[in-house]
Amino acid sequence: MSSIPVEGVGRAREGGAGGMLRHAVWMLRENPLTAVAASGAMALCLIALLAPWLAPYDPLASNVERALQPPSARHWAGTDQLGRDLLSRIIAATRLDLAIALSAVSLSFVVGAVIGAACGYAGGPLDRSVGRFVDVLMAFPLFVLAMAMVAALGNRVENIVIATALINLPFYIRFARAEVNVRRNAGWVEAARAGGESHLAIVLRYLLPNILPAMAVQISLNLGWAILNAAGLSFIGLGVRPPTPEWGILVAEGARFITTGKWWLVAFPGLALMMTVLCFNLLGDGLRDILDPRMRT
Amino acid sequence: MAAGFLTRTARRAGQRLLSSLPALAGVLVFTFLLMRVLPGDPAVFFASGPNAGQAEIEAVRKTMGLDRPIPEQLVRYLADIGTGHLGRSMTTGQPVLSDLRQRLPASLELTFCALLIALALSIPLGILAALRQGSLLDHGVRLACSLGVCVPTFVSGLLLIYVFYYLLGIAPDPTGRIDVFSASPPNITGFLLVDLALTGDGEGWRAAAGQLILPAITMALFVLAPLARITRASMLAVLGSDFVRTARSLGLSGRRVVLVYALRNAILPVLTIAGIVFSTMLGANVLVEKVFSWPGVASYALDALLSSDYAPVQGFVLLMATIFVVVNLTVDVLYGIADPRVSVA
């Protein structure tokens, strides 16, 4: 009997961050897949950071005598047509692929959150014109749009980042707009307004921090998609150029040898792509369960 | 009543078409700006070579209309599109419109077959997973879905080629729509499978289907996951609703309840995301056509793009956006037919 009020008090006191942390620990224990995905994502970041020390060989050093060898104890993932060690090239590519995806997603997150929040808060003509712009973007098949952007801006890595950021932008704008729009007349926003806060301060200090957790989920889910897009672009010959190691290019180079049975040239870079995307997707699903239990599926 | 239904549907389609016009106009301006304002001078590229004289470059620029001010170029571009002139491809030397018309059936045939395969697999799987929630099958479907969205189409396509062409030897050489050694196919609709069926060429039909099956499966695998996932989720929601419980309590057979009453309601969200799925497939077309050397519009645009040939890329992007608008319109009309409660507004 006496335990009931005590427990109630405990809950009330811990509230915010503590409750969230406990919920997160509980969720991780309930859903070990999220824990695995989180450690996988951390491992990927470590590989990206330590790539030059982890790779067993120089990713650019060719050795024609050892060309097109299947996986062996010496070359775990085999060698390519110039005798370069495939495993070293895959490890070296991690940094570039993650860097492209991370910068593209952060770019569209920052720009999208600010524009979307402004539209959701201000409404009116700004909201309508941005809405039209988003409609136009969404009227394209997005990969085709990214393709055209890279082609027009020039075949460089920065432009892959810009193109990937642009096709992600509509989702962030819509998301931030909707989240801010439902809160703009909430009691605590009215209170801030009555307290004499400027509109800018209300958006930046009150509304944006409030929608951040929900957007974090979006970021993780988008990272996987951004990696697939960037790899797809370099696969068709846009953006990153050989001999720079990048997963999409590694697959494109291996594609020429698939009909003669050199499977490892496609399978291992493909596996790296798949595992990375899987990690970020599972992490995103897990984050959503932790941060927003209502949206659980 | 039937007439009233038709008028309602037609009015709905008309209104949707009107409301998608601004977006389409935006698309036109956007493609134009994308290709003209940004760096890269096609006149230099199409002059005889890197050492071409300034006079020659100017001449090329003049024939391409690139010496006019940007707004004037835009107006001329819009007028050209209004009269059906999409420009001329510098690489094939043909008008872009006829090039696109010639290659579009190949792309559409591939995309429709892939969509058909994806729907035929994902809807039953989604229903079964929902009916046996928490079973091994359910977990299997969810696992396959999670993995399916992570494999890029170009990797799965290449691995399918490795297994079915190199290892098993049951798939034909992955180069194009027809065997290089076969006679040139009939050209009635441009859709090879339809044409060969019309002429009653059984052997040719099987050969063409053999060429088509791997790229179609590759593309289907990529969109299987979202379709199966949404079918499962909406089926679960519908199965838990009152009218299904009522139908069950009235003693209707399980099959009838699921396939007639529940499915008809559960299919609505699937229809809604079919538009998004189609957009993904139009993008994936580029990768799949490249992997299988498929002679469709996407590989045509890609070749042009890599040689800075503006007109085909512009035409392609415009075509894709138009198809996408039409598909969304169709989905919307279908939605109205499937659920008469949806208002025209």
pLDDT, tens only, B175-211: 777 765 566 666 777 787 777 777 777 777 888 888 8
Average pLDDT over residues B92-110: 87
Measure the CA–CA gap between B234 and B127, rounded to whole angstroms. Answer: 9
Measure the CA–CA gap between A243 and A43, rounded to whole angstroms. Answer: 25
Beta-bridge partner residues of B88: B95
pLDDT at B307: 77
B146 and A282 within 8 Å at the Cβ level: the answer is: yes
Average pLDDT over residues A220-225: 85
A232 and B152 within 8 Å at the Cβ level: the answer is: yes
Asked whether the predicted pLDDT for residue A92 surpasses 90, the reply is: no
Measure the CA–CA gap between A244 and B239, rounded to whole angstroms. Answer: 53
Quickly state the pLDDT bin for A103 (edges 50, 70, 90). Answer: very high
3-state helix, strand, coil in chain B (%, to 5): 75, 0, 25
Smallest Cβ–Cβ distance between A266 and the set B159, B286, B324 belongs to: B159
pLDDT at A294: 58
Q: What residue type is assigned to position B237 of the chain?
A: A
A148 and B31 within 8 Å at the Cβ level: the answer is: yes
pLDDT, tens only, B257-293: 888 888 888 888 888 787 778 878 888 888 999 888 8
Using CB atoms within 10 Å of the CB of residue B136, give its burial: 0 to 12 exposed, 13 to 18 middle, 19+ buried: exposed
Shortest distance, CA A272 to any CA of chain B (angstroms): 10
B147 and A278 within 8 Å at the Cβ level: the answer is: yes
A270 and B158 within 8 Å at the Cβ level: the answer is: yes
Measure the CA–CA gap between B94 and B112, rounded to whole angstroms. Answer: 27
Measure the CA–CA gap between A117 and A103, rounded to whole angstroms. Answer: 21
Q: A235 is written with which tokens? A: 């696969």
Does residue A251 belong to the interface with chain B, where contact is any CB pair within 8 Å? Answer: yes
Measure the CA–CA gap between B93 and B77, rounded to whole angstroms. Answer: 19
Q: A58 is written with which tokens? A: 């120089």
Q: Are B140 and B131 in contact (CB under 8 A)?
A: no
pLDDT at B345: 38
pLDDT at B64: 67
CA nearest to B161, candidates B152, B151, B170: B170
Please, which residues have CB within 8 angstroms of residue B137's CB and are 6 or more apart in sequence?
B128, B129
C-alpha separations of B317 from A6, A184, A264, B45, B283 in Å:
65, 38, 35, 22, 10
pLDDT, tens only, B216-243: 999 998 888 888 888 888 888 888 888 8
Angle at the Cα of A142 from the Cα atoms of B342 and B269, rounded to 5 degrees: 25
Residue whose tokens read 């593309």 = B219
Measure the CA–CA gap between B76 and B64, rounded to whole angstroms. Answer: 12
pLDDT at A6: 39
Quickly state the pLDDT bin for A104 (edges 50, 70, 90). Answer: very high
pLDDT, tens only, B4-33: 777 877 887 787 778 777 777 888 888 777
Please, which residues have CB within 8 angstroms of residue A114's CB and are 6 or more apart in sequence?
A176
Smallest Cβ–Cβ distance between A267 and the set B159, B233, B320 belongs to: B159
Across A33-37, A262-266, B61-65, B208-212, least confident range: B61-65
Does residue A141 belong to the interface with chain B, where contact is any CB pair within 8 Å? Answer: yes
Measure the CA–CA gap between B274 and B227, rounded to whole angstroms. Answer: 8
Quickly state the pLDDT bin for B41 (edges 50, 70, 90). Answer: low
Cβ neighbours, 10 Å, residue A8: 10
Measure the CA–CA gap between B217 and A222, rounded to whole angstroms. Answer: 25
C-alpha separations of B332 from B210, B329, B337 in Å:
34, 5, 9
pLDDT at B45: 59
Answer with the residue of higher pLDDT: A107 or B133.
A107
Nearest chain A Cα to B37, which residue? A152
Measure the CA–CA gap between A142 and A131, rounded to whole angstroms. Answer: 17
Cβ neighbours, 10 Å, residue A212: 15
Nearest chain B Cα to A285, which residue? B146
With beta carbons under 8 A apart, name residues in chain B contacting A227: none
Measure the CA–CA gap between B342 and B332, rounded to whole angstroms. Answer: 10
Q: Are B152 and A231 in contact (CB under 8 A)?
A: yes
Beta-bridge partner residues of B95: B88
Mutation for A interface: B45, B150, B280, most A CBs within 10 A: B150
Cβ neighbours, 10 Å, residue B95: 17
The ipTM assigned to this model is 0.81
Cβ neighbours, 10 Å, residue B233: 17
pLDDT, tens only, A110-168: 999 989 988 988 888 888 888 888 888 887 888 888 888 887 777 788 889 999 999 88
pLDDT at A161: 92
pLDDT at A14: 45
- What part of A 152-181 touches B (C-beta under 8 Å)? 152-154
Using CB atoms within 10 Å of the CB of residue A23, give its burial: 0 to 12 exposed, 13 to 18 middle, 19+ buried: middle
Q: Are A198 and B250 in contact (CB under 8 A)?
A: no
A259 and B313 within 8 Å at the Cβ level: the answer is: no
B161 and A270 within 8 Å at the Cβ level: the answer is: no
- Average pLDDT value over all residues in chain A: 81
Does residue A191 belong to the interface with chain B, where contact is any CB pair within 8 Å? Answer: no
Average pLDDT over residues B126-154: 86
**pTM, full prediction:** 0.82
- What part of B 311-340 touches A (C-beta under 8 Å)? 313, 316-317, 320-321, 324-325
B283 and A143 within 8 Å at the Cβ level: the answer is: yes
Provide the CATH number for the domain formed by A21-59+75-295 in this structure.
1.10.3720.10
A259 and B174 within 8 Å at the Cβ level: the answer is: yes
pLDDT, tens only, A179-193: 888 888 888 888 888
pLDDT at A13: 43
pLDDT, tens only, A235-248: 988 878 778 888 88
A232 and B287 within 8 Å at the Cβ level: the answer is: yes
